[in-house]
Amino acid sequence: MGVVKNILFVFVIFLSFNVKSQIVRDTVLYDGNRYVKHIVKAGESLKTIARLHNITVADILNHNETQRNLYYNQLLYIPVFDNKKEKITETNNYEQIKSKEKKINYKEKFERKKRIDIHKEIESSLDFKNKKSKFNIALLLPYFIPRNDTMFNDFKNKEEQKSLYYINSEAALSYHIGVKLAVDSLRRKGINITLYMFDTNNDSAKTQQIINSDSLDIMDIIIGPLYSKNFKLLCSKYGNDKDKILISPLSKKIHALKDYSSVYQLTPSVRVQLITISDYITKHHLNDNIIILCEENFKGRGIYLNKLFSDQNLKSYSYNITSTKVDSIRNIFGPKQVVIIPSTNKAFVSKLMGSIGSIDSTSVIFGLSAWKKYDNLDINNLMFLNTHLPNPNILESNQHDSLFIKLFINKYGNTNFPKYTYIGYNTIFHFCSEYEVFKFKTLDNEKGKINFNVPLYHYVDYELVPCK
């Protein structure tokens, strides 16, 4: 967890420069001054960086909390002076500037070559025959910049700061890290992507203010807001704009899908998971008895499943479970059956699964993706009952996912990437390259599109593995 927090801390420090500006592009605006970002590369010194940007060493020191001894991958903010004739741009070429003052050691040479090789590997794996070459992308996320900035300022010990961030900003920050990894990779391929970051603060009034400012008019892709109520505010203005793509990245249920054609929901809903389960059972358990065990709050899901099976000319039986005790459910079970439990009630699922495991019968269980997070389910029972779960947004053993891991390790030196980083990375690749990560469809006469890429996994040898 410490690694994750350190990564997020670095990002929060970057965002803190933008407290007074709504929009961040390739330049950062703060207190009326403009800055460009510069990542310290192997062998660079203050003098070589100053020479690159046509400023003085004193200019760098005056605008950054740093010493003269730089460290690899350090983030510097380079002031942009309007009286300079030379245009200052961010470079992605690791070998553009070679230090004449400091000899690069062998370790640094190796690390630099490894970074270059990874990016070449990414570039060679991509195809851009039909995609645009330029994108304006807006991120409307709850960064909670003022809150993070205030919190960090309360601590004088810099080392103590590195383990702290405002917890409600974690989703936005971890998602953004993945976005940036993908953007940096695609920029190297020649795709012109400009990122605009808006801090919604998870506040409806703030979100509406951003929408009313017309700053989003020039955007090709708008990602966020994260939460359904604020996302609907965005849709009310741009939801049917054919020139825009509106992405709900994390929410499992957005009402905007019903009325707005430009909307894309990345996280598969419960309905999509139920469709995936019914399709799999239809193909692989055609002759088995199908029973659906519902609690009162989720009985509508049982009705929906019965309809899905009926459409496939299959008979299923739905039961309203009021008690999870063994004696209360025993008479439902025959010698062999397929059991679907469409519940996300952690306590209910745990008790019911325990009771089913005690019944002398052969069952194959199908649950929902939320079960993966439950820590009260017995792994041995999950294997015994051959438990199947929809498993979206999981890393697979393909070239795309392998490159993501390599890229993250190369930048952050660890495999423990934040929770939503992988989704952020895939979002950019799907919509800005030829690589198809998601499978979007419309559902139940809705205008918007939802991701149907929900592979089924089951428990084997104490881990979830793909169903064949």
1-26+118-268+394-437 and 271-391+456-466 share one fold: yes
At 104 the pLDDT is 40
The Cα–Cα gap between 270 and 250 comes to: 13
The model's confidence at residue 88, banded by pLDDT at 50, 70 and 90, is very low
Domain layout of the chain by residue ranges: 1-26+118-268+394-437, 29-89, 271-391+456-466
The full length of the chain comes to: 468
Greater confidence (407 vs 329) lies with 329
Per-residue model confidence as pLDDT tens digits over 441-465: 998 889 999 999 999 999 998 888 9
CATH of 29-89, one of 3.30.70.270, 3.10.350.10, 3.40.50.2300, 3.40.50.10090: 3.10.350.10
**What average pLDDT score do residues 81-85 get?**
53
The model's confidence at residue 163, banded by pLDDT at 50, 70 and 90, is low
Beta strands 221-223; 245-248: pairing state: parallel
Per-residue model confidence as pLDDT tens digits over 206-224: 999 999 998 999 999 999 9
Is the pLDDT at 403 greater than 70? The verdict is yes
* Three-state DSSP class for residue 390: strand
Contacts of 160 (CB under 8 A, 6+ apart): none
The Cα–Cα gap between 332 and 340 comes to: 13
Domain 271-391+456-466: assigned CATH number: 3.40.50.2300
Per-residue model confidence as pLDDT tens digits over 166-180: 788 888 989 999 999
Is the pLDDT at 246 greater than 90? The verdict is yes
Mind giving me the DSSP string for 131-150? S-SEEEEEEEE---HHHHHH
CATH of 1-26+118-268+394-437, one of 2.60.40.10, 3.20.20.70, 3.40.50.2300, 3.40.50.300: 3.40.50.2300
Which of 60-69, 290-299, 391-400 tops mean pLDDT?
A: 290-299
The model's confidence at residue 133, banded by pLDDT at 50, 70 and 90, is confident
Greater confidence (109 vs 194) lies with 194
The Cα–Cα gap between 306 and 311 comes to: 9
At 159 the pLDDT is 56
Greater confidence (122 vs 139) lies with 139
Q: Report the C-alpha dihedral over residues 396, 457, 1, 152, rounded to 10 degrees.
A: 90
- State the average pLDDT for the chain: 81
